[in-house]
Structure 1
Amino acid sequence: MSALRARAALAAAAVLALLALPAAPALAADDPDDVIPLTVTVPPRDGAGDGDGGAATLTDAELRWAVNTEAGSGNYVGCNFLMAGTPGTDGDTGGSRVWDDGDAGLYHGRAGNVRVLRTVGTGAAATQRQATFGTRCTGPTGEKVTLSTTSGAEVVMAGGRGTRDADGSVEIRWTGSFTVVFYGGMTYWWAGDPVLRLDADGDGTLTATAGGYAADREDVTRWGRLPATRVTLATFDGEKLTGSKGGFLQPAYCGVWVDAGDSAPQVRQDPAGSCWGSFPQNLVDFQQRTGQASYWYSSGHRDAAKPPAVVGVSFDAAQSIGSTPPVSGVGTGGGTTTPGGPDRSGGGTSGTAGAAGATGVAAGPGAATRGGPGGGLGAAGLATPRSPGAATLADAPLTGFPAVQAATLGGGATPLVPDLLRTADGAGTDRLAVAATGLLLAASGAVVGFRRRWLVLPFRP
């Protein structure tokens, strides 16, 4: 041990002696050859990039919206579906009726800047294709949609023009329209030239000019064109587009009160796996005339299928942030629902639920229960069959934007403190002292070498 102490003392003395040596003449500070430029590049945050948060003029923004789960589900006479533009050449199908194979000309998968894309395949193999008349009621695996499944179709509008300000506020206008068709064509409405406005706090609206036809379940010969009406498709509370390419906006719905007028009263009790609420009041008011009012707020009938889908906004359609379709396979299967006779007390039609399966589509996690009063499309509109008893919907994940996987900070990475120094018996302290002494000796030798000009930088003459 005394020998070890002696060697340590000699090493320390050597270090002191080297440090005491006279220094070489200092390099001239104004010699350009002695200046070594140093450039530091800080990578951008994940999801950010050039211009993130800055003002920009937008010339080809993209809007994606699946409306809600109900807009792609089956019903008792066929299906509900989305289409680009308005039906046929002028929006008039001639009456309240279910479209058949001879009505292919009424449907448009694309109209100007507007397309309807549907999901094809499942899992990693899933892709999107433009919808056609033949596939408008088809699910991802080629099956016809039912009350417990949905097509996964969404409206995609390109060509949006507007501004994005440095404070995060946005105003974008699109040209074009899309139509929401219920009951296979018996009732439909369209939304044209939508405008998105968000302020710096992320509060705002998605508005459009609505049109369509008034229909009456009791008298299908009644068919009148509705005047163009500016409506609010969605409102946003604190929903900001913070990414450099755009982002996803969750419309307000849960807990939103609405005056249902003459339609089924609003049910203000959460169904399992979803929530009670409503689309904006002026949209519900407009739907009173189409006969669809109770499909746009919680009425106690298929409420889990009603909340709005997430709205996707890309600042450049060529760099789309991706799709926002609703879930497509959420039914329990096995059961059927048979429409019964009219039940005007609830505005709808009674039915009998299948014993082995559910008849509904869940739009959120968990299971939802339907039944009881409600249903219907309003006093002057088409009726929706409802079950007098409860039917349980299948579990389904909340969807609309790509899921974000959980990550553990530093998981699997090299620890900041090397394992060499992390010992339970305290021996790491001695190892740290030895390592520090070695580094001190090496550094001292380098300092002396450069001062004596024994050492020179390899890139110096």
Structure 2
Amino acid sequence: MRRPERRTRAAAVAGLLVAALVSLLIGLAGLVAAGPAAAEPGEAPEESVSPTPEPSPEPSESPTETATPSPTTPPSPSATPSAGGSAPVQVAGAVLRWGVSNQTNARSHNPGAINFLAAGVANPGRGGATLKQKQWRARSGNVTIEKRTASGRWRTATWAGLETSPAGADIGVYGPFSDHTVVLRKGAGTVDRAAGTARVTWKGTFTVVYYGGNTVFTVTDPTLDVADGAGTLTATLGGFLADRTDVSKWQPATPQRVRIADLPQVQLGALGFTAQPAYEGVTATGSEPQDRAGSGWGAFPQPFVSYLQPFGVDQFWYSTGLQSDPTKRPLPLSVSYSPKEVAAPAPTAGDVPAPEVENDAPAAPGAPAAGAAPALPAVPAAAAPRAAAGVPAGALPQAAAAAPTLPNAVQLVAAPATDSDTAAASSGAGWFLGGALLLAAALLLAVPIPSPTGSRPTS
């Protein structure tokens, strides 16, 4: 081989080797950049928190309502007990939130009328009448009626929303329910977490309306008492004595202070608590015999049931063997020591109906023919339609009770490319280019250079 040719080949190989080395270094840098991304400075992991109830900016549909959100008292240093709970704390802006029962948010046994809540005193004015929109209020003093939205937040109730579920469906006797709560604010009292005691009183009145207004009763100035891990909620009951079979009967009831909820398990948290009122296994006597067969039978406190007997609605607060008995159970209630509420109680079984899925797309290959029952896994009892609607076992035909439910559809969306994706792509390209250049250098060294004709190769 001649020397100039050797020099040329050596220079080419050296150039290829340098290019390959540069490409490999680029690929290595890309791999490092594609590693796990570090958290942004000061960025904390996102925490899943239940939506904080907030007053709605929407005005009530009642002509007597204003668009101004109900006032709240800003928390003061003494309004929120410390995490240690070492001393009694005076609270002045406590919040009580309670949906009472699913039956109170359902269609009544008269299909033309519904049951609902009202702020203040709601009075249709006579027996056999239904409450008019102008007689209903969403706010009165410290009391607000709020409705859960489809997104899980709370908004001030509207007249039209009393008849619909959070998803916008018409409410039924067994569900879906309208999912309203009564909210009392500016509660005052003392919380002693170290001693496990509390006493908080709220000022305000709300009305429980059944059969559209054929019968109503009022709840005024509730008081919470807690001691030894248990609590009670008392209030002054009133309203108008009525008889659905005798519409001429309509007279003011004598107010009486009674126990409206027993709370067998109360754990005083740093900011408040949520508790389930007693019902199952509680005995009561009223205008109808109590049904104590099977599971889930029970009652609200006896003084509450007894007071409502002259109103003609006592049987809606204890089990009587009706198909709607499961809707009589009390809903959980929450108490917050300051205007910033603790997580509100989640909907119970039957509060949220199963979504209706419509899909007209042709069946996938291998799908069962139209009318053929697909083989699905067994559905737990809690997911059966009768449980979701709050209907007791045996109330539905066997075929309907055994019908499985399909899982909710999952929507797949494309995720945007991230910096790490781009870096990984760049690193792959760098490694590939480096390998290609090394292979080219090897081939260049392996190819012989022919000697000129008649000349003798030199060693």
TM-score by length of 2: 0.58
Which residue is 1:269 aligned to?
293
1:321 to 339, 343, 351: 343
For the pair shown, the structure with the greater C-alpha radius of gyration is 2
Which residue is 2:275 aligned to?
249
Structure 1: gaps spanning 5 or more residues: 1-46, 334-356, 372-386, 397-461
Which residue is 1:117 aligned to?
146
Q: Distance in 1 between matches of 2:104 and 2:233?
A: 18
Which residue is 2:308 aligned to?
287
Deviation at 1:390, TM superposition (A): 13
Matched, 1:310 2:332: yes
Matched, 1:63 2:87: no
Aligned 1:358-377 pairs, distance under 5 A: 362=389, 368-369=392-393
Deviation at 1:74, TM superposition (A): 1.1
Identify, as 1 or 2, the structure richer in strand.
1
2:118 to 83, 91, 114: 83
Q: Distance in 2 between matches of 1:211 and 1:370?
A: 38
Matched, 1:155 2:190: no
Q: Distance in 1 between matches of 2:355 and 2:247?
A: 34
Q: What is the SS of the residue equivalent to 2:316?
A: helix
Q: Deviations over 1:120-146 (max 9, x none)?
A: 21xxx3322111222222211222211
| CA distance 1:305–1:214, change in 2 (3 Å) | same
Deviation at 1:332, TM superposition (A): 11
Deviation at 1:393, TM superposition (A): 11
Matched, 1:178 2:202: no
Among the aligned pairs, what percent are the same residue? 34
Q: Deviations over 1:203-225 (max 9, x none)?
A: 22100000111111221111111
Contact 1:248/1:313, CA 8 A, preserved across alignment: yes
Q: What is the SS of the residue equivalent to 1:269?
A: coil
| CA distance 1:142–1:276, change in 2 (3 Å) | same
Q: Provide the aligned C-alpha RMSD in A.
A: 3.3
Aligned 1:311-350 pairs, distance under 5 A: 311-323=333-345, 325-326=347-348, 327-330=350-353
Q: What is the SS of the residue equivalent to 2:212?
A: helix
Q: Distance in 2 between matches of 1:394 and 1:196?
A: 44
Deviation at 1:229, TM superposition (A): 1.2
Contact 1:331/1:394, CA 8 A, preserved across alignment: no
Which letter does structure 2 place at the counterpart of 1:184?
A: G
Which letter does structure 1 place at the counterpart of 2:128?
A: S
Deviation at 1:394, TM superposition (A): 10
Q: Distance in 2 between matches of 1:360 and 1:95?
A: 35
Structure 2: gaps spanning 5 or more residues: 1-48, 50-79, 357-383, 406-459
Contact 1:249/1:310, CA 8 A, preserved across alignment: yes
| CA distance 1:51–1:179, change in 2 (3 Å) | same
| CA distance 1:303–1:244, change in 2 (3 Å) | same
Contact 1:234/1:280, CA 8 A, preserved across alignment: yes
| CA distance 1:207–1:395, change in 2 (3 Å) | farther
> Higher relative contact order by CA 8 Å / sep ≥ 6: 1 or 2?
2
Deviation at 1:234, TM superposition (A): 0.4
Q: Distance in 2 between matches of 1:393 and 1:264?
A: 32
Aligned 1:168-207 pairs, distance under 5 A: 168-199=196-227, 201-207=228-234
Deviation at 1:111, TM superposition (A): 0.8
| CA distance 1:77–1:198, change in 2 (3 Å) | same
Aligned length: 294
Matched, 1:52 2:84: yes
| CA distance 1:78–1:238, change in 2 (3 Å) | same
- Which of structure 1's runs of 4+ aligned residues deviate more than 2 A? 47-54, 91-96, 318-333, 357-363, 389-396
Q: Distance in 2 between matches of 1:310 and 1:266?
A: 23
Q: Distance in 2 between matches of 1:134 and 1:306?
A: 24
